[in-house]
Copies of this chain bind each other. A is one copy, B any other.
């Protein structure tokens, strides 16, 4: 494997010295970029996920266009449950992806099987290999998975939203919930190992719906399984864990042995770093990128000044929003790259 020209992200994650704070942006390969939209206009979302040539192309776009310090493979968290037997449908303008066979009870668990990381998800390994080849060592590549709870939420509910049926199952039938979460944790491990073997340098676990749970349920039904995954992967595979909306449990999240902890924008990052006692990633308010360059500079500086020096990966506190002006994203990246701790 070619040595990386820019290994800042890995240096921070491994606790080695880095001359400045690296930056990447959640959903950086996405709808704010005209170059992404041009490809998206010709192909539906799932086709893009399943076509290594297309996935690889949009993965590299933000490296070229806005200059981020890492690429993250273009894919979707729901392709793993799809490979496990869920019927995934994404229809244009119909309110997000959905599963037509939601799991609502113990019996319907039988429709779920272990994913075949060879045949069923080969397109993702191929996309990663192609992307690593094309990046040619410019920046590291990040792979990812949804957390067991976040995947569970979609699989039980069948669609996005408030996930009331998924949450209700935790109260009503915890043993079935634990059974499905165990299956998901096992599959997430294989899935992330596959991405590592194909060439991903780091992986991130997106626990996007953590904040739908009260703290006790989060720790029992979400964090516990993320911890299992981290234990199965570390130290060979560095793992970033991002449980959005679960700041109430930052101490617990920080203690599971992840390489870094993602932080949303509803907490000062200095406080998050102290509480998690770990490398932190985040946490600029994505709405700031709709303000002017002076406001962006001030906001970014506040994050950089509060974050622990050398233990911080700059990012937004949530995915970048469609409609974000590209010039503002570039201004943010340039500013973070130019900033040095005093």
Chain B residues with CB under 8 Å of A292's CB are 172
User: Given A164-B321, A248-B247, A290-B164, A214–B268 Cβ distance below 8 Å?
Assistant: yes
Docked Cα-Cα span, A163 to B288, in Å, equals: 11
Q: Give bound CA distance, A279 to B160, whole Å.
A: 34
CB distance from A102 to the nearest CB of B (A): 13
Binary flags per residue of A198-227, CB closer than 8 Å to B gives 1, else 0: 000000000000010111100000000000
Are B165 and A290 in contact, with the CB atoms below 8 A?
Answer: yes
Query: Is A323 at the interface (CB under 8 A from chain B)?
Result: yes
Q: What are 26 A-B contacts with C-beta separation under 8 Å?
A: A162-B286, A162-B321, A163-B287, A164-B321, A164-B323, A167-B285, A167-B288, A168-B287, A168-B290, A169-B291, A171-B285, A171-B291, A171-B298, A172-B290, A172-B292, A172-B295, A211-B266, A214-B265, A214-B266, A214-B267, A214-B268, A215-B267, A215-B268, A216-B268, A245-B266, A248-B267
Instruction: List chain A positions with a Cβ less than 8 A from chain B.
Output: 162-169, 171-172, 211, 213-216, 245, 247-248, 265-268, 285-292, 295, 298-299, 321, 323
Minimum CB–CB distance from A212 to chain B (whole Å) comes to 8
Complex CA–CA separation, A101 to B286 (angstroms):
24
Minimum CB–CB distance from A260 to chain B (whole Å) comes to 20
Shortest Cβ distance from residue A210 to the other chain B in the assembled complex, whole angstroms:
10
The one of B213, B247, B266, B291 in contact with A172, judged by C-beta atoms closer than 8 angstroms, is B291
Q: List B contacts of A245 (CB < 8 A).
A: 266
User: In whole angstroms, how far apart are the Cα atoms of A163 and B286 in the complex?
Assistant: 11
With both chains docked as a complex, state the minimum distance between the C-beta of A207 and any C-beta of chain B, in angstroms.
14
Chain B residues whose C-beta falls within 8 Å of the C-beta of A162 in the assembled complex: 286-287, 321
Closest chain B residue, CB of each to CB of A246 = B266
Given contacts A171-B287, A172-B295, 18 further A-B contacts (CB under 8 A): A163-B287, A164-B321, A165-B287, A167-B288, A168-B288, A168-B289, A169-B291, A171-B285, A171-B291, A171-B299, A172-B291, A172-B292, A211-B266, A214-B267, A214-B268, A214-B285, A215-B266, A216-B268
Most B CB within 10 A of own CB, among A214, A286, A291, A321 = A214
A165 — which chain B residues lie within 8 A by C-beta?
A: 287, 290
- A171 to B172: give the CA distance in the assembly, Å: 44
Shortest CB-to-CB span from A96 to chain B, Å, is: 12
